[in-house]
Amino acid sequence: MAINFTGSNLFTVLLLFAAGLIFIIKGGDWFVDAATWIAEAFGIPKFIVGATVVSFATTLPEMLVSVFAALEGNADIAVGNAVGSVTANTGLIMCLSLVCMPCLMTRKQFGFKASLLLATIAVLFAFTRNGQLSVAQSAIILLFFAAFLAENLMAGKREHGAESAENRPQMTGKALACNLLGFVLGAATIVLGAQLLIDNGSALAKMIGVPDSIIAATMIAIGTSLPELVTTLTAIRKKESSLSVGNIIGANIMDLTVILPLCTLIQGRPLNVENQGMLLDIPACLIISAAVLVPALISGRFKRWTGFLAGGLYVAYLVVMFVFFGA
């Protein structure tokens, strides 16, 4: 990018990094609310809005961080953020949800998406064994996104059926102008936040002497996962565990099936996956996800002990990362 927002010392770098997180989270709220209102006001059924507009909008922060990083030639941040977000979502946020409140979802509700997520990570693991994700491989991974989107649309149609026009938001000039402003302002705020994260995350890595990939897989990944954390805490408070687990699985599928392929396709060349991503980040993502999802697929329900297991594996992953890749 032409403009650089890097701080001049450690304090300003941390301050701008935190500002980037705040901008991404707040901008995401504005963007989702405005996009949802506009879609519904123009008569798009809610189940389509939920399956497309909201799913895309909630993934936009991670997407822009990785895409901007890829365009700047920083593949470590692009890959570390996308894969690290999935690992953090499972090892931290789903762990918290399952430990506090075991999920009551049935296999029919989560089976397809859980299987699709595991298949996506396994395919990504196989594709990146040579240290790259090619354009052709990215196109194949996008097929997993197409399957996810199709299942979302069918599930939404089954649940909601036909909707009355009376349920649409009232279309007035003032309301439309306000939501269009929120849409543009939200998108611009996310873009600015993403650039702040990339610039200052990379600067922070240099200042404390660790690779960009570690900052991406920890601070940036966890930071861009904060919306999922808020959703989970809300679900725990309302005793709606299914909302939390379903949101995390869906977000993880979007992160892997959209972000990395998009980075590759925008570049027009293979996306480099360095040693940490190839040897640790992607395998750890697969192991931690399998530790939670495979027992659930076998037994038909999520168990509290799998939350503890996922949390323990995530801590082990962080220890291995800093010990073997922190220099």
Q: Domain map of the chain by residue range?
A: 10-161+171-325
Average pLDDT rounded to a whole number, residues 309-320: 96
Residue type, 278: M
Average pLDDT rounded to a whole number, residues 44-73: 76
115-160 pLDDT per residue, tens? 999 999 999 999 999 999 999 999 999 999 999 989 888 877 776 6
- What is the pLDDT at residue 47? 59
Contacts of 164 (CB under 8 A, 6+ apart): none
Mean pLDDT check: name the lowest of 19-23, 32-36, 68-72. 32-36
Average pLDDT rounded to a whole number, residues 33-40: 81
pLDDT at 173 over 50: yes
132 pairs with which residues across the strands? 272
- What is the pLDDT at residue 55? 66
Run of H or E residues at 132: strand 132-133
Q: Look at residues 2, 173, 12 and name the one whose alpha carbon lies nearest to residue 72.
A: 2
Give the chain's mean pLDDT: 86
The residue ranking higher by pLDDT, 240 or 282, is 282
Average pLDDT rounded to a whole number, residues 6-12: 84
- What are the CA-CA distances from residue 32 to residues 37, 53, 109, 228 (Å)? 9, 8, 24, 14
Quickly name the fold that domain 10-161+171-325 has. Answer: A middle domain of Talin 1 (1.20.1420)
- pTM for the full predicted model: 0.85
Share of the chain above pLDDT 90, in %: 45
pLDDT at 162 over 60: no
**Are 251 and 190 contacting, i.e. CB atoms less than 8 angstroms apart?**
no
DSSP letter string over 171-221? --HHHHHHHHHHHHHHHHHHHHHHHHHHHHHHHHHHHHT--HHHHIIIIIH
pLDDT at 208 over 80: yes
In angstroms, the CA 162 to CA 105 distance is 25
- What is the pLDDT at residue 165? 52
